Copies of this chain bind each other. A is one copy, B any other.
Amino acid sequence: MLSFECDYTEGAHERILQKLIETNMEQHSGYGSDIYCESAKEKIRKACQCPQAQVFFLTGGTQTNQIVIDSMLKPYEGVAAAQTGHVNVHEAGAIEFTGHKVMELLQHEGKIYAKELEEFLQGFWRDENYEHMVFPGMVYISYPTEYGTLYSEQELRELSSVCKKYSIPLYMDGARLGYGLMSNDTDVTLPMIAKYCDVFYIGGTKVGALCGEAVVFTKNNMPAHFLTIVKQHGALLAKGRLLGIQFDTLFTDNLYFKVSRHAIEMAERLKKGFREKGYSFLLDSPTNQQFIILENKEMEALKEKVRFSYWEKADETHTAVRFATSWATREQDIDELMEILDEMHISDVG
């Protein structure tokens, strides 16, 4: 059945598979010390315009969040995040598992505001009892957010400025980074992210790779003995080449950005289709996740013909659902979806 359930339903971009085959019988030493990891790191440094960047490849998003946050926080510190942040909601407590509190900030379509962040930090340090409380030691944001929305450069600059003022790092979860950077509605570039964030990751799993996320420490601030820390967390891949080859391919000939742009075009086509048919949206997402409001009966009927995700209840008779496009979505998939919608309307009218 046609699926827009999420952006990781297919395998990997064909060039990645091709490269895996080409290099398969080469002998390389393990744990990320191979030439493909080195090459991929160098390409990422260039794409970030950040020559001093330290890059480390991990396997998945929750794993990456857990390790980055745990290794950069002091033991008595927590990480501030939007209530809706992935680390706060959908990681099964992976952050708390390592001993750290996720400190909830108000969210605005998935984003946090610099002003509210500053009030929170100010409030902490002014509190007479702060020594009995969890210290805010990092700020977590996602780009795009869990709601598909994007921070502007101005917003990133402000968040970065607040973090600097309170001497805590700004961390960006870029599980879908490409889909943010290639949006029609962003003024943010990869070098800007490298500039404003102290650490971030470039998501591979959702953007064309079989698995893999590239963590980028931008301020010469990779924790000492990071490889050992990764090993201790059970996350050090023996055949590091698997990650190196994928990112080396994604950052050759701008492939990462091209496949991301493709997903955005598919999302725009999908959005336009829904809009023209009169559907309304939970919010205006400029990225690959689109949140459509469906009447409940229609949702049930549609479920029979195409896969998508439940998002949240809109009102008693309506539900917000998510359609995700990806690097793998084909134009004909969108067309097929539109035909399904048309058929449902006809039978409805009939």
Partner-B contacts on A (CB < 8 A): 2-3, 5-6, 8-12, 14, 17, 20-21, 23-30, 59-67, 70-71, 74-76, 78, 89-94, 96-102, 104, 128-129, 131-135, 205-206, 210-211, 224-225, 227-229, 231-239, 241-242, 307, 309-310, 328
The residues of B that contact A66 with a CB separation of less than 8 Å are: 234
Interface centre among A17, A66, A237, A239, by most B CB within 10 Å?
A239
Please state if A128 and B310 are interface contacts (CB–CB under 8 Å).
Answer: yes
CB nearest to A59 among chain B residues:
B59
Distance in angstroms from A166 CB to nearest chain B CB is 15
CB neighbours (8 Å) of A310 from chain B are 128
For A90, the chain B residues whose CB sits under 8 A away are 129, 132-133
| A245 shortest CB reach to chain B, Å | 8
Inter-chain contact A60/B24, CB cutoff 8 Å? no
In the complex, chain B residues whose CB is within 8 Å of the CB of A132: 90-92, 228, 231
Asked if A236 contacts B24 (CB within 8 A), the reply is: no
A97 to B5, CA, bound (A): 35
How far is B61's CA from A20's CA once the two chains are assembled, in angstroms?
22
A76 with B229: CB separation less than 8 A: yes
Task: Select which of B62, B93, B94, B234 is within 8 A of A62 by beta carbon.
Answer: B234
A224 contacts which chain B residues (CB < 8 A)?
74
Residues of chain B within 8 A of A205, CB atoms compared: 238-239
Q: Is the CB of B11 within 8 A of A96?
A: no
Do A131 and B225 form a contact, CB below 8 Å, given A25-B11, A30-B6, A92-B232? Answer: yes
Instruction: Give Cα A29 to B309, complex, Å.
Output: 11
B25 touches A97 (CB 8 A): no
